[in-house]
């Protein structure tokens, strides 16, 4: 391209010189093409005698240059080359790449917008909401069901069996805290509240016995019904008659303490479905794991109902009164 421009420039210079030389030699034919002042100025210049062929050849060369220049300007650019120079081609290329990248970004943006607004996206959102709502509903339902089960079990423990008669109770022979041998027949004709424990119990047994004797007084106060509180040891090795006597007098004067040999304690515990077991020993000091239940026995020493640890003094007293009143009527 640069060589072409240089060639055209040289041809233009040569043609210009030839044109001015021709005008100087022949001012008349070309004076109409010039301004009057320039035409007068050129007419006073001395003419140089040259061959007419040179002037005609210069004019023809000038015409050829002008014609080739016009044709070149009007001719279309080559199919494989852009019509501009290298800088313009680079800029066009960069602008083309920019337009292409811009087009891709616009296409991606349009695609994302179409996805956000498409039915598939809305269906996914709705499905997510329904799934989350279903999980929350299922969790709440299971939680309520679990709470109801716990409440039902607690109510069953609190109220005891509502129908039929459990095979709890039976004959026994033990020693009371006064050292006297007694049997189940000695408690007939009275409403009896029985609790199984041991004197070395650190906290549970004292709490349950305090609740038991307080309920006995409240039952007497509310209904006038006499009940007998009874404590039976499940630790025959340490709970001697003397030990039981010292223990029961700390709670209530009506509380009766019973103990016996290991076989006798095992027999009465089996009859009343009481669980007990010694725990790990350390220097002859041990604890006894056992059932925490208060049994209500009728005047014929038949089982009526049991009350669990979750009952307080008032609920225990009211429960006992509720069970006894039908028998009195």
290 known ligand binder = yes
Domain end (from 159, 182, 213) = 159
Do residue 254 and residue 181 come from a single domain?
Answer: yes
pLDDT per residue as tens digits for the range 247-263:
999 999 999 999 999 99
The token pair at 122 is 């809305």
Do residue 202 and residue 315 come from a single domain?
Answer: yes
- pTM, two decimals, is 0.51
Q: What is the pLDDT of residue 269?
A: 94
Is residue 271, in this structure, part of any structural domain at all?
yes
DSSP readout, 51-72?
-HHHHHHHHHHHHHHHHHHHHH
Question: Higher pLDDT residue, 54 or 268?
Answer: 268
- Please give the sequence-ordered ranges of beta strands (E in DSSP) within 177-216, or none if there are none: 181-183, 191-197
Domain end (from 75, 96, 127) = 75
201 known ligand binder = yes
Is residue 238, in this structure, part of any structural domain at all?
yes
Do residue 190 and residue 311 come from a single domain?
Answer: yes
Q: What is the pLDDT of residue 84?
A: 45
Residue 228 contacts residue 234 (beta carbons within 8 Å) = no
Most confident of the following: 39-43, 99-103, 159-163, 197-201? 197-201
Domain end (from 12, 43, 75) = 75
Is residue 20, in this structure, part of any structural domain at all?
yes
pLDDT (average), residues 269-277: 93
205 known ligand binder = yes
Q: Are strands 173-176 and 256-259 parallel, antiparallel or unpaired?
A: antiparallel
Angle between helices 204-223 and 313-328 in degrees, nearest 10: 50
Question: Higher pLDDT residue, 244 or 158?
Answer: 244
């Amino acid at each position: 391209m640069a060589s072409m421009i240089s060639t055209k420039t040289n041809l233009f210079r040569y043609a210009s010189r030839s044109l001015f030389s021709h005008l100087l030699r022949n001012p008349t034919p070309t004076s109409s093409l010039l301004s009057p002042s320039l035409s007068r100025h050129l007419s006073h210049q001395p003419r140089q005698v040259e061959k007419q062929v040179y002037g005609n050849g210069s004019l023809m060369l000038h015409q050829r240059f002008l014609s080739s220049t016009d044709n070149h300007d009007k001719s279309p650019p080559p199919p494989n080359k852009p019509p501009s120079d290298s800088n313009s081609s680079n800029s066009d290329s960069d602008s083309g790449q920019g337009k292409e990248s811009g087009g891709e970004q616009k296409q991606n943006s349009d695609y994302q917008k179409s996805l956000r607004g498409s039915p598939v996206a809305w269906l996914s959102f709705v499905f997510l909401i329904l799934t989350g709502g279903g999980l929350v509903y299922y969790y709440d339902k299971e939680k309520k069901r679990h709470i109801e089960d716990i409440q039902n079990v607690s109510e069953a423990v609190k109220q005891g069996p509502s129908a039929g008669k459990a095979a709890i109770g039976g004959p026994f022979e033990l020693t009371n805290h006064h050292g006297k041998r007694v049997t189940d027949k000695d408690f007939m004709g009275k409403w009896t509240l029985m609790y199984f424990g041991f004197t070395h119990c650190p906290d549970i047994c004292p709490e349950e016995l305090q609740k038991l004797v307080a309920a006995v007084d409240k039952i007497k106060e509310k209904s006038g019904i006499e009940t007998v509180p009874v404590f039976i040891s499940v630790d025959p090795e340490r709970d001697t008659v003397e030990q039981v006597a010292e223990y029961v007098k700390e709670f209530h004067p009506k509380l009766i303490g019973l103990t016996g040999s290991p076989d006798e304690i095992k027999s009465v515990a089996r009859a009343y479905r009481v669980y007990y077991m010694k725990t790990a020993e350390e220097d002859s000091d041990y604890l006894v794991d056992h059932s925490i239940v208060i049994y209500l026995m009728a005047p014929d020493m038949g089982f009526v109902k049991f009350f669990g640890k979750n009952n307080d003094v008032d609920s225990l007293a009211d429960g006992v009164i509720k069970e006894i009143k039908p028998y009195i009527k």
